Structure 1
């Protein structure tokens, strides 16, 4: 695509020789411009990585602090912590939370998690996952800012970095445990920017590993192939589309059922019995419209004018076609893979505009700033997240009474506090007669997943009837030992 002179901040200017009144050659205006070019190039190279480093520290601090505040959960930090630990011991990714010796590949096809195993050789802890996730997501800002700076200007780079870094998709992923799609953020950012920049082979190379991140992302790779074919590389595009589609089909229909103890892919039940019926209600209820608005608002809705936005269609479709309401809104981590796509599309539109860019950037920054207090990062700007209240401290002290290396059944938000020390099962997911833990530790109030407060209390009563006795408590948390 062509670039207009107004939007290219680093375009070399032609030197014009001038004479001063004394007859000596005067300094041309291009000399200053040429001298500034190396400095601009250095800034373009360094600034995105500096922003990524700052975001990494912020993301890691927020997520690790949430973990210390007992705000993480078995689903999903506990699951992935056990899975990566299994990889670090040269085994398949098993966990004891979803069921006895449950193989994670039977839930999601995410072999990319094995890349994190070496980190556990250095520091074996759920905090390692949270820090790694922060780094992966933050790296996504690098290609976006570089492209924005190179093709539009410094202001655009800063606004895009701010918009991506504090978007709802990023914020709600960072503040909801750990998820494999953290790997998708940088891959999609580099792929989308390469496509927008006309480097079609590079776009495919960056996108191809997505098929190992999560089973649905093969569809995104397939759509990228269609875009590459549309841009003229028909063979490359066709092969990419076929490869992405086959990878998703193989993962969903063959690999996951083969590893699942039930012999089928349990996630397919989340799409009901009639896709036609789901398609008829694609944009209802209103929460789906709200999700689209929040997705596009930081780009002043201009992202829809770029072909890059088509990469978001597979993710939006499967989410809105599902019967599970958790997929429809902006909570949890489901919006993360959309953020690099949306902001790459935004840059693509900006670089082809000839006017009004300052106003667009100002509006984008204002929308992002307005939405931050409403996303998952909001607590990070209060003292609540950074101070430990007595009840939390007492709970940590109670957990320390459980010996290392024993077996424990724990409630949802206590599981990830123990996965690096004990063999932990989740109350309500494995029968007590099967797990037979030495210890039970559980919250007793304001419980949700998986049993709810009443179900949890009934489960604890049954445990006491089977010989478990209370040996300690901290606020609403009780510790039982097998008598």
Structure 2
């Protein structure tokens, strides 16, 4: 992380007294071109994954159920999380309501995927414009495309839909404004993060501290920092427990210290444990490598600290690595810090070359690379069987479906994941993929046993074709 005594680089840094002129049409042209290209790529990948039935109930189905609730004028309920489960009792993400009007016009999970692609792509606009304004078109392309092809964004695009897609452009616009000396604009872009997810209030607080320390808007910065801390505290301690059926913030138990560990264990966990096991250190290295480690020269990188801390402090190993969507919010931060650091004395061309090289080297390891693979553009014949069998399920029916079949039905039925503990019992329909089982939430052996048990307790087999089983509960 950057040294605490540093200030943002002049003349493009947050302490700049005279902000350089905005770029002309060329700056907009480059930024919009990069953003449009990224939107096309993200849409192609995420929609194609859905067409191939590789999206899941956990998480695309859950978020579609939430947006569907908003679209019909209700607070978000996700049947996939449990019977009539209020989603505001899981995470505080009322920002999802913004998708309701669009979903009313296009009631399909593809609406969420396209919206996510647009939001993630839009974050490239401020980053690319700032880089071109400060360092020229070459730097703009490295920063814009580097952000767009970064492993954190690729992981998010390749794994369903998540509410953090709203946070990514907000952070990009906020930190770009801060880097260009526009403290109040930075604060206004950061504030809505409180409506995206409960932990992001801590990121808002860090942005406030950066404003207070690095600009003349000390009062604005302190007010923003206090708002961020109080907002996260209110959401975690009051709002979410009020909606949660258990009356608590569920994820608090995954952070050591919340359940009374010994002092020695806690000290070890919050020192050495923050960079071990190796997955944590590898994630940190991958984060810095995309900028050739130059981002550490900018105080903007401090905005990544809250997200890194809660992830590495958690005992959930899924949070530690570079997979899934958990690092998406880090990408606009690290590339904003990179752009700011490029304004300092040093080998700018060398840093840009290293950043571009790392992006290219890492690209094949993450989902965007799938677009180059022939298998991505082939459709298995058995998927037509799955669609034909799902068409037999009437609208508004209760259905237990395999995790990868669930989001194919959530737009028109009440869906749970087959085999998920705590789901609503005795759905009218069961549709299960036994040919290519995902192995979650139950093993293939358990899955077959559950089907046999269903048949023994009032379900008839409607179809058993190409590895798909459709059961209906008899009246």
- In the superposition, the TM-score normalised over structure 2's length comes to 0.91
* Secondary structure of 1:473 counterpart: strand
1:119 aligns with 2:102: yes
Match of 2:70 among 83, 87, 91: 87
CA-to-aligned-CA distance 1:276-311 (integer Å, 9 cap, x gap): 443131110001111011111110001011000000
Shift of 1:431: 5.5
Query: Partner residue of 1:345?
Result: 337
C-alpha distance in 1 between matches for 2:132 and 2:222: 32
Q: How does 1:388-427 map to 2 (within 5 A)?
A: 388-427=379-418
C-alpha distance in 1 between matches for 2:36 and 2:233: 37
1:315 aligns with 2:298: no
Higher alpha-carbon Rg:
1
Answer yes or no: is the 8 Å Cα contact 1:271–1:322 preserved in 2: yes
C-alpha distance in 1 between matches for 2:221 and 2:347: 35
Structure 2 stretches lacking a partner, 5+ long: 1-8, 13-18
1:208 aligns with 2:186: no
Shift of 1:258: 0.8
C-alpha distance in 1 between matches for 2:296 and 2:127: 17
1:224 aligns with 2:185: no
C-alpha distance in 1 between matches for 2:338 and 2:83: 46
C-alpha distance in 1 between matches for 2:399 and 2:146: 42
CA-to-aligned-CA distance 1:241-260 (integer Å, 9 cap, x gap): 11100100111111111101
C-alpha distance in 2 between matches for 1:430 and 1:78: 17
C-alpha distance in 2 between matches for 1:429 and 1:389: 27
Answer yes or no: is the 8 Å Cα contact 1:425–1:435 preserved in 2: no
C-alpha distance in 2 between matches for 1:181 and 1:142: 18
Query: Partner residue of 1:278?
Result: 269
C-alpha distance in 2 between matches for 1:134 and 1:420: 20
* Secondary structure of 2:420 counterpart: coil
By relative contact order (CA 8 Å, sep 6+), the higher-ranking structure is 2
CA RMSD of superposed structures (Å) = 1.9
C-alpha distance in 2 between matches for 1:458 and 1:447: 15
- The 3 A distance-change label for structure 1 pair 56 and 313 is same
* Secondary structure of 1:480 counterpart: strand
- The 3 A distance-change label for structure 1 pair 388 and 201 is same
Answer yes or no: is the 8 Å Cα contact 2:274–2:313 preserved in 1: yes
CA-to-aligned-CA distance 1:425-477 (integer Å, 9 cap, x gap): 22233667x43222100122533322222332222222111111222123222
Query: Partner residue of 2:253?
Result: 269
Answer yes or no: is the 8 Å Cα contact 1:398–1:473 preserved in 2: no
Answer yes or no: is the 8 Å Cα contact 1:278–1:322 preserved in 2: no
Query: Partner residue of 2:57?
Result: 74
* Secondary structure of 2:411 counterpart: coil
Query: Partner residue of 1:2?
Result: 10
Q: Structure 1 runs of 4+ off > 4 angstroms?
A: none
Answer yes or no: is the 8 Å Cα contact 1:296–1:302 preserved in 2: yes
Aligned residues: 450
